């Protein structure tokens, strides 16, 4: 049976809402929300379905700047308590799920009543945890509703399940299943949401900037993507950073949901590079490591929309002298950092296809540097007294270079002759000579 909730008041602006959270006295239960509902202020309006097995209730919350309870239903869940582990255990799984389709009465047997909404159980994390079983649905019943009586599905009376159509958007509306809901102050959920948004925005920024080390710092040590561990993921991303000259990652409509010790962040992702572009939905599964949140797993679903346009690479360097020189300095620092960190793909991506030095082309230089990189695990490269000269699509860099590793050290004068290629500076020629006092 549905408990009707009074109509919501007009929504205040987010700034006003935040101030109210700070300055108004506590209103008891009215100031609290289920801890599953982390607040992401700029998320678009949406519904969230919460299932509490202990009370055999289903709650529907609506978000439009803040969460508000809009409906409550009586339900029946699995006959046995606890989280689902194996097929046939007659338990309802606990986690964050999405609805994959809506099935009308004409396609259902009498067991499922007038409406059914299959869930995506087992999801990515269930599979990783080895949880078994399938065919977990929210559906109706032609019988009298009896608590804790199902094989694992979530069952509502026919009159109630028919009303879910107005709340559910396939692959968009989450259903979060818990044994018992816990509640926290709205101000706490807003603060936790802001911390997570800082993490997610920092991750996407590092991705766009092709800052591999900073990007990977947002991942948990036991991260997995398909058959890749974190080191395999590093190699894949290094290869992509080398393949694509420029990357842009935009995240829209970030939503945050918590279940147990895990947070699921969902967002619309618009990815563009100079060679590939896509538009879809990103799911990030995050866990807390001490005070910081780290990505344990991620997945992407197509939005089934036309891909955005590719990034257009600049045909020429910046026209004004000061900006052009700054772009050269920025390129040299990226090259130095890749060299120092042993990031061979990014280091080699700094070179022009027709690069030559010491009688070697780019292929011979790659083999030579690969051998040198393998001989030392740590190195420090310092560049001082950097002088740059830019003339159209060419530039010259002179700098004092100091090199130290666990196997060798030297200092000398480095000259880099650069050419603009496919939207960026690249090294066309490179020479080095020892400082005069080294003989």
Can you read off the two tokens belonging to residue 61?
A: 């919350």
Domains 186-302 and 321-438 equal at CATH topology level:
yes
Are the beta carbons of 93 and 133 closer than 8 angstroms? Answer: yes
Band of the pLDDT at 300, cuts 50, 70, 90?
Answer: very high
Tell me the pLDDT tens digit for each residue of 222-249. Answer: 999 999 999 999 999 999 998 898 899 9
pLDDT of 7 > 50? The answer is no
14 pLDDT band (50/70/90 cuts)? very low
The β-bridge relationship of strands 247-259 and 262-273 is antiparallel
- Name the burial class of residue 28, with classes exposed (0-12), middle (13-18) and buried (19+) by CB atoms within 10 angstroms of its CB: exposed
How far apart (Å, rounded) are the C-alpha atoms in residues 377 and 358? 25
Q: Where are the domains of the chain?
A: 3-181, 186-302, 321-438
Q: Is the pLDDT of residue 1 over 70?
A: no
User: Among candidates 75, 174, 167, 89, which has minimal Cα distance to 131?
Assistant: 89
Lowest mean pLDDT among 5-14, 158-167, 316-325: 5-14
Q: What is the pLDDT of residue 128?
A: 94
C-beta separation of 286 from 262 below 8 A: yes
Q: What is the per-residue pLDDT across 138-147, written as a single tens digit (0 to 9) for each? A: 999 999 999 9
pTM of the model: 0.74
Q: Which residue has the tokens 């997945």?
A: 299
What is the rounded average pLDDT of the residues 375-400? 93
Q: Which two tokens stand for residue 51?
A: 């299932």
pLDDT score recorded for residue 5: 29
Tens-digit pLDDT profile for residues 44-89: 999 999 999 999 999 999 999 999 999 999 999 999 999 999 999 9
The average confidence (pLDDT) of the chain is: 90
Q: What is the pLDDT of residue 12?
A: 38
Residue 270 token pair: 């618009």
**What angle (nearest 5°) sits at the alpha carbon of residue 73, between those of residues 70 and 74?**
160
Would you say 99 and 113 are in contact if contact means Cβ atoms under 8 Å apart? no
Is pLDDT of 15 > 70? no
Please report the pLDDT score of residue 30 as a whole number: 66
As a CATH number, domain 3-181 is: 2.40.440.10
- Which H or E element spans position 161? helix 158-161
Listed residue (194, 336, 192) closest to 202, CA to CA: 194
Q: Which tens digits make up the pLDDT trace of 24-45?
A: 333 335 689 999 999 999 999 9
pLDDT of 46 reads 97
Question: Please, are residues 183 and 33 in contact by the beta-carbon 8 Å criterion?
Answer: yes
Band (pLDDT 50/70/90 cuts) for residue 377 is confident
102 within 8 A of 164, measured Cβ to Cβ: no
Q: From start to end of 17-93, where are the E strands?
A: 32-34, 37-38, 46-52, 57-63, 67-74
CB atoms within 10 A of CB 385: 9
Q: In the CATH hierarchy, which fold is given to the domain comprising 186-302?
A: Nuclear Transport Factor 2; Chain: A, (3.10.450)
The CATH number of 321-438 is: 3.10.450.50
Please give the C-alpha separations between residue 237 and each of 231, 233, 285, 361, 407, in angstroms, as whole numbers: 10, 6, 19, 26, 29
Helix, strand, coil % over all residues of the chain, rounded to 5: 25, 40, 35
pLDDT per residue as tens digits for the range 389-418: 999 999 999 999 999 998 889 999 999 999
The DSSP bridge partners found for residue 430 are: 416
Whether the CB-CB separation of 237 and 214 falls below 8 Å is answered with: no
pLDDT of residue 437: 67
The token pair at 122 is 């087992």
Mode of pairing for the β-strands spanning 154-155 and 137-139:
parallel
| Interval 84-107: pLDDT, tens | 999 999 999 999 999 999 999 999
- % of the chain surpassing 90 pLDDT: 76
Q: What are phi and psi of 98, to 5 degrees?
A: -130, 155
Predicted pLDDT of residue 370: 87
Q: Sign (positive/negative) of CA torsion 356, 361, 363, 369?
A: negative
Q: Is the pLDDT of residue 18 over 80?
A: no
CB proximity list for 433: less than 8 A, separation 6 or greater: 412, 413
């Amino acid at each position: 049976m549905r408990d009707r909730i009074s109509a919501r008041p007009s929504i205040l602006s987010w700034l006003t809402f935040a101030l109210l959270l700070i300055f108004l006295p506590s209103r008891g239960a009215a100031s609290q929300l289920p801890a599953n509902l982390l607040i992401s202020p700029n998320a678009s309006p949406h519904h969230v379905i919460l299932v509490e097995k202990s009370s055999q209730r289903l709650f529907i919350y609506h978000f439009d700047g803040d969460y508000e309870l809009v409906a409550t239903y009586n339900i029946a869940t699995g006959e046995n308590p606890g989280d689902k582990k194996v097929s046939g255990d007659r338990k309802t799984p606990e986690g964050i799920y999405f609805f994959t389709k809506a099935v009308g009465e004409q396609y259902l047997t009498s067991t499922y009543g007038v409406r059914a909404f299959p869930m995506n159980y087992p999801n990515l994390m269930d599979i990783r945890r080895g949880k078994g079983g399938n065919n977990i649905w929210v559906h109706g019943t032609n019988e009298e509703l009896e608590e804790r009586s199902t094989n694992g599905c979530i069952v509502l009376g026919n009159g109630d399940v028919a009303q879910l159509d107005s709340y559910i958007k396939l692959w968009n509306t989450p259903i979060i299943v818990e044994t018992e809901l816990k509640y926290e102050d709205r101000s706490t959920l807003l603060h936790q949401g802001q911390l997570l948004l800082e993490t997610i925005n920092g991750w996407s920024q590092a991705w766009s900037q092709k800052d591999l080390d900073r990007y990977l710092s947002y991942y948990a040590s036991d991260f997995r993507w398909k058959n890749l561990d974190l080191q395999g993921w590093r190699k894949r991303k290094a290869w992509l950073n080398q393949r694509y000259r420029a990357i842009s990652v935009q995240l829209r409509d970030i939503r945050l949901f918590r279940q147990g010790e895990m947070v699921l962040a969902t967002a619309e992702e618009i990815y563009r590079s100079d060679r590939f572009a896509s538009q879809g939905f990103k799911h990030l599964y995050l866990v807390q490591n001490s005070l910081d949140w780290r990505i344990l797993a991620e997945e992407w679903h197509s939005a089934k929309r036309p891909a955005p346009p590719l990034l257009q690479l600049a045909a020429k360097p910046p026209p004004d002298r000061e900006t052009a020189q700054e772009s050269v300095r920025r390129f040299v620092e990226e090259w130095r950092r890749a060299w120092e960190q042993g990031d061979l793909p990014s280091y080699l991506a700094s070179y022009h296809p027709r690069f030559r030095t010491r009688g070697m082309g780019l292929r011979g230089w790659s083999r030579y540097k690969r051998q040198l990189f393998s001989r030392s695990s740590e190195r420090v490269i310092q560049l001082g007294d950097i002088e740059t000269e830019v003339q159209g699509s060419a530039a010259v860099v002179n700098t004092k270079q100091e090199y130290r590793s666990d196997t060798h050290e030297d200092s000398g004068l480095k000259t880099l002759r650069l050419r603009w290629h496919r939207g960026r500076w690249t090294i066309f020629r490179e020479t080095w000579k020892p400082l005069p006092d080294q003989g």
